[in-house]
Amino acid sequence: MFGIFKKKKKEEPQNLENSDLPKEKTDIIPHEREQDVVVDAGIEQEVKVEEDISTKSFFTRALEKTVDNFKSIVPQRKEKIEFDTIEELLIEADMEYEIIEKAMDGLPNLITRDQLRHRLVMLFEHAPDIDTSSLPRPFIELIIGVNGAGKTTTIAKLAHMYKENGNSVILGAGDTFRAAAIEQLTKWSQKLEVPIIKTKQGHDPSAVAYDTITSAVAKNIDHAIIDTAGRLQTQVGLANELKKIVKVCGKACTGAPHQKLMILDGTQGNTAIAQARAFNEMVGIDGIIVTKLDGTAKGGALFSISNQLELPIFYIGIGEKATDLISFSPDEFVDSLLDGIYK
């Protein structure tokens, strides 16, 4: 079925009955040799896995600024902490007051680590439990979010992670709104040695999505990751474009996209929630990746993000390198936070 679609499209695109199907031509760029690659400052850092660092310390790193801020409220770690002090700490970490009230309802005046830990972990009840051994192939992911949130960088991080796990990856440069976005993803594809499907600036992004998927199907590639624009002339234009991309993905491969991932900038704290709501209304979101947690004291916003949107957080970004992505673990996240205030 995919072969028929592809053949029709290449030979007589004008005869396609459905106007949703993209008609523009995209380029398939296989990865190039390392020495041909011109790299950006953020990309040129070595792509290597630091195996000696445990996941726990990654979370501690992600929450460094958030926990640092706690010191002005609780200078010394304690065994029990007053109710009001905990409230103050959570507000300081940019957790929404409504969520704080919900989490702390009925707790005593002096709160132990275990009591608080239990309540905070529960806020992530939408945490995912994905069985990665039974993903459809190709597994097609659409990456959504506003400009600057970290979409393109996160795509590189995901691609790197999948490759490290022994899977093949293809990228789709679906942010055709800006030439720089296509260029940026192309550089990452070269650095990571994964193929990319791209077109010229201003061309139809659903054509890119379609060709990325048909190429993944034809070459039996495990993962296809498709970038999208975060901003167009109008909000309605963006919504229509995203809806069209989603529809075209489904035409290229039944069930695609298998996952629509929203990328949220962690430095924006709670304001990111409004963005996610808007995108969720446009196309529906399956999960969230929060970026730039390394640069913010607003780590507590993750509680509100997951709880208010009723969506799982899949990963967090803790830097600009391809290795700076970690699977989100509610237990480890909460423990790292509590390590800063409890003995």
Ligand X SMILES: Nc1nc2c(ncn2[C@@H]2O[C@H](COP(=O)(O)OP(=O)(O)O)[C@@H](O)[C@H]2O)c(=O)[nH]1
Q: Cα separations (Å) of 272 from 94, 143, 242, 298?
A: 12, 16, 19, 11
Shortest Cβ 154–ligand X spacing (Å): 6
Picked from ligand X, Mg ion, none, the partner binding residue 138 (CB below 5 to 8 A depending on kind) is none
Q: How many residues bind ligand X (CB under 6 A)?
A: 21
- 112: Cα separation from own chain's centroid: 34
Residue 71 CA to residue 341 CA, distance in Å, equals 8
Among 138, 172, 300, 317, binds ligand X (CB under 6 A): 317
Q: Does residue number 320 form part of the binding site for ligand X (CB under 6 A)?
A: yes
Q: Read out DSSP for 177-214?
A: S-HHHHHHHHHHHHHHT--EEE--TTS-HHHHHHHHHH
For Cα atoms 143, 245, 127, give the angle at the middle one, nearest 5 degrees: 35
Q: Name the amino acid, one letter, at 106.
A: G
Q: Please identify, among the stretches 3-11, 122-130, 286-294, 334-342, the one whose residues bind ligand X according to the rule CB under 6 A.
A: 286-294
Shortest Cβ 280–ligand X spacing (Å): 17
Q: How many residues bind Mg ion (CB under 5 A)?
A: 3
- 239: Cα separation from own chain's centroid: 19
User: Binders of Mg ion among 172-211, rule CB under 5 A?
Assistant: 181
Only one residue has tokens 């963005």, namely 275
Residue 215 CA to residue 221 CA, distance in Å, equals 8
Cβ-proximal residue to ligand X, closest one = 317
Only one residue has tokens 């459905």, namely 18
Name residue 288's beta-bridge partners.
262, 313
Among 60, 152, 168, 186, binds Mg ion (CB under 5 A): 152
- Is the CB of 152 or the CB of 190 nearer to Mg ion? 152
- Is the CB of 100 or the CB of 185 nearer to ligand X? 185
Shortest Cβ 214–Mg ion spacing (Å): 23
Q: Does residue number 198 form part of the binding site for ligand X (CB under 6 A)?
A: no
Shortest Cβ 275–ligand X spacing (Å): 11
Gap between the terminal Cα atoms of the chain: 61
Picked from Mg ion, ligand X, none, the partner binding residue 145 (CB below 5 to 8 A depending on kind) is ligand X
Q: Does residue number 120 form part of the binding site for ligand X (CB under 6 A)?
A: no
Question: What are the phi and psi torsion angles at 44 (to 5°)?
Answer: -75, -10
Shortest Cβ 10–Mg ion spacing (Å): 28
Residue 259 CA to residue 128 CA, distance in Å, equals 13
User: Binders of ligand X among 147-176, rule CB under 6 A?
Assistant: 147-153
Residue 2 CA to residue 251 CA, distance in Å, equals 9
Q: Please identify, among the stretches 88-96, 145-153, 238-246, 266-274, the one whose residues bind Mg ion according to the rule CB under 5 A.
A: 145-153
* Closest-CA residue to 286 (of 53, 110, 128, 167): 128
- Is the CB of 214 or the CB of 306 nearer to ligand X? 306
Q: Would you tell me which residues interact with ligand X (CB under 6 A)? A: 42, 145, 147-153, 184, 230, 263, 291-292, 294-295, 317-320, 324
